[in-house]
């Protein structure tokens, strides 16, 4: 039987450690970690994500603010808000929920966030630091950072000799995931929509990370027996109970579980880790602001 990697339990563990770290930081320096979440428009999924981020921040004892702006907010108004948050000493992390409405240039907004408050890790400075291995001062995007913790729990911090294949090359998941695996000494291949012989390539993976956005695309016979499978995908499809929709990953879970050594479920795998790592990046930022180092 494969091991089911319990992302809820791993995230609870991270959050418990963050609570203690935040209390200690406040007791010793007076600094309370602060996170600002900004949402523009009415996207229902974004609203759910923003609400759960605010809730988790409060549970961790952080100072948290939420700016919910109307869809017709202009790019200049959003830039002005981000600049105000950049200058606010009580705020250590700024998260602008994506996607933004079409009339706003997301790239410009991300680059307006001060790199030292960019807890999503999307600013060019943080992307560059991750690429060059300056991890002590970088912010790493939360989903790959959370996935990496799940991988470390299976294999330890040194992945020497292991082949890792990532399916997906996005800036927020695939590419930073590749950098993290590379820093941990794995031999890394990134696959994408132009890759040939994808099943065969996946079968070479001791660690397979799926970040595609295609429901249940990865089948059992793509998986090397005993491999660790990290399913980042979140896809809503029909077929839930009472005519409702249900969530599935990019991996065909039931059949893949018969081949994998360890596998993340969807939901309850990578998802909870993403939000936990956002909180971790906020503690990191607050610690740096207080002249301290913090590592999970
Ligand atoms: P993107 O759409 O930005 O990237 C998808 C990647 O998959 C692209 O690189 C694309 O290739 C590749 N791809 C698409 N189709 C195929 C195919 N048939 N064969 C091989 N590769 C393919 O998605 P994201 O990286 O943002 O997200 C990926 C998934 O992860 C989504 O389901 C998303 O919802 C989920 N997600 C989950 C999070 C969590 O917290 N668990 C957080 C973020 C995302 P190409 O570049 O060539 O187009």
Domain ranges, ordered by start, for the chain: 30-114, 142-271
Best of 168, 178, 265, 277 for a ligand 1 pocket test (most atoms within 8 Å of beta carbon): 168
Hey, how many other C-beta atoms are within 10 angstroms of the C-beta on 249? 30
Mark whether 120 is an active-site residue: yes
For residue 170, what is the DSSP state? -
CA distance 212 to 83: 34
pLDDT in the model for residue 43: 92
Reading the chain (296 residues) residue by residue, the pLDDT tens digits are 789 999 999 999 999 999 999 999 999 999 999 999 999 999 998 999 999 999 999 999 999 999 999 999 999 999 999 999 999 999 999 999 999 999 999 999 999 999 999 999 999 999 999 999 999 999 999 999 999 999 999 999 999 999 999 999 999 999 999 999 999 999 999 999 999 999 999 999 999 999 999 999 999 999 999 999 999 999 999 988 888 999 999 999 999 999 999 999 999 999 999 999 999 999 999 999 999 999 98
CA torsion, points 154, 159, 161, 164, in degrees to nearest 10? 80
**Residue that the structure tokens 């399916």 belong to:** 167
pLDDT in the model for residue 242: 86
Ligand 1-lining residues (CB < 6 angstroms): 143, 167-170, 172-174, 191-195, 198, 211-214, 232-235, 270-271, 274
Evaluate whether 30-114 and 142-271 have a shared fold. yes
Mark whether 53 is an active-site residue: yes
pTM of the model: 0.97
pLDDT in the model for residue 1: 78
Q: Does domain 142-271 have CATH number 3.30.360.30?
A: no
**Fold (topology level) of 30-114:** Rossmann fold (3.40.50)
pLDDT in the model for residue 71: 97
pLDDT in the model for residue 241: 87
Mark whether 250 is an active-site residue: no
The alpha carbon of 172 and the centre of ligand 1 are apart by a number of angstroms equal to 9
What phi-psi label fits residue 25: left (phi over 0), alpha (psi between -120 and 50 degrees) or beta? alpha
Q: Does ipTM exceed 0.90?
A: yes
């Amino acid at each position: 039987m494969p091991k089911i990697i319990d992302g809820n339990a791993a995230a609870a563990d991270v959050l418990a450690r963050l609570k203690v770290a935040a209390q200690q930081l406040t007791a010793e320096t007076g600094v309370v970690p602060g996170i600002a979440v900004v949402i523009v428009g009415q996207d229902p999924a974004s609203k759910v994500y923003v609400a759960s981020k605010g809730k988790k921040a409060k549970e961790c004892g952080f100072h948290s603010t939420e700016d919910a702006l109307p869809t017709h907010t202009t790019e200049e108004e959003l830039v002005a808000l981000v600049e105000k948050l950049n200058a606010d000493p009580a705020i250590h992390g700024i998260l602008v929920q994506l996607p933004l409405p079409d009339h706003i240039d997301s790239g410009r907004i991300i680059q307006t966030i001060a790199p030292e408050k960019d807890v999503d890790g999307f600013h060019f400075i943080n992307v560059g630091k991750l690429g060059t291995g300056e991890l002590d001062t970088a912010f790493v995007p939360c989903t790959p950072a959370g996935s990496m913790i799940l991988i470390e729990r299976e294999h330890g911090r040194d992945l020497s000799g292991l082949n890792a294949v990532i399916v997906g090359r996005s800036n927020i998941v695939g590419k930073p995931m590749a950098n993290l695996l590379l820093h941990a000494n794995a031999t890394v291949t990134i696959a994408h929509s132009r890759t040939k012989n994808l099943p065969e390539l996946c079968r070479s993976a001791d660690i397979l990370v799926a970040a595609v956005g295609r429901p249940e695309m990865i089948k059992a016979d793509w998986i090397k027996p005993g491999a660790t499978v990290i399913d980042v995908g979140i896809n809503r499809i029909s077929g839930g109970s009472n005519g409702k929709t249900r969530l599935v990953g990019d991996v065909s879970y039931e059949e893949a579980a018969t081949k994998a050594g360890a596998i993340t479920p969807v939901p309850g795998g990578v998802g909870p880790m993403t939000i936990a790592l956002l909180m971790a990046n906020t503690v990191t930022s607050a610690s740096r602001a207080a002249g301290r180092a913090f590592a999970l």
